[in-house]
Amino acid sequence: MKTNNKILHAFFLLTIVAGCGPDNKPDSEKSAEEIKEDKSEWKYATLPISHQKWDELLQAHVNDEGRVDYKGMAKDEAKLDEYLALLSNTPIVKDEWTEDQQMAYWINAYNAYTVKLILNHYPVKSIKDIGPDFQVTFVNTPWDIKFFEIGDKKYDLNKIEQGTLRKRFKDDPRFHFALVCAAKSCPNLRQEAYVPEILDQQLRDQGKHFINNPAKNKITDANNAKLSPYFDWYKKDFKRGDDTVVDWVNEYSDIKLNKDANIAYMDYDWSLNEQE
């Protein structure tokens, strides 16, 4: 028992040291260059997978507004688990998969595991009501709970978004329009899986629907806009090269903003993206 206590104590000391360095700000506030990239899955030799099972679940349990029928999804949880097992047993090989195959995999994985996290704790009013089953140092949010594996590595949702997508696809931040954190202010969950063959079209469609949805972004005229907090939280991702947040908004917005438009940010609604 004393030996176990010493090991546990040493583990927490190491954790504290790792988390208390000068670069201890949340990953969402970092630029892509500041985030440590996860490369743990690259050693496997695998072929890209089919996302058909996830596609079927989305068609069956997501409505036109991107809201989820979690009760219906729970009845189909066996199929969801089959898809998650496929993801878990088929980690990406960077040098053998195309970038579109990789991005589609990670977006689908994030969204599917988010649904699984909700089902694990359903009913809940918000994903933010979910915490770890027991107190763990520095596991303070649902996105830090390591509740699934890909290959032989433990993963949490932050490891997909922050350590993989933001780092590996820093030149294409459109994945932010596709990740769905189970909140009403998130982008809508599509009624189809992301697939590499039409990924660019899907991401463009997501961007257009997200930016022109007044529940997510309110662009009243060329000089005034209340944008999703995404454009504040991840402004370093959208400000790359000569691009600005306004440039990204204008790429998809029906109303084009002036360069010096007055930009404010909307409150974020964390209530569950559930069908009513």
Residue 146: inside a domain: yes
Measured CA to CA, the distance from residue 202 to residue 208 in angstroms comes to: 10
Residue 34: per-residue pLDDT: 60
What pLDDT does residue 33 have? 57
What is the C-alpha separation between 180 and 66, in angstroms, rounded?
A: 10
Residue 39's pLDDT is: 54
How confident is the model at residue 93, as a pLDDT?
85
| Unique residue bearing structure tokens 């991840």 | 234
> Taking a C-beta distance cutoff of 8 angstroms, is the pair 88, 150 a contact?
yes
Q: What does the alpha-carbon distance between residue 96 and residue 192 come to, in Å, rounded to a whole number?
A: 25
The answer to the question of residue 38 being in a domain is yes
Give the residue ranges of the chain where pLDDT is below 70: 1-45, 133-139
Which tokens is 165 given? 């997508």
What pLDDT was estimated at residue 29? 57
Task: Please report whether residue 253 resides in a domain.
Answer: no
Model pTM score = 0.84
Say if 135 falls within a structural domain: yes
Q: What pLDDT is stored for residue 13 in this prediction? A: 34
How many structural domains compose the chain? 1
55 located within any domain: yes
Q: Give the C-alpha separation, 42 to 40, whole Å.
A: 6
Q: Where does residue 260 rank: exposed (0-12), middle (13-18), buried (19+ CB within 10 A)?
A: exposed
Does 266 fall in a domain? no
Q: Is residue 25 part of a domain?
A: no
Question: Could you identify the residue written with the tokens 């029906």?
Answer: 254
In a domain, 235, yes or no: no
**Which residue segment(s) compose the domain that 194 sits in?**
32-212
Q: What are phi and psi of 262, to 5 degrees?
A: -80, 115
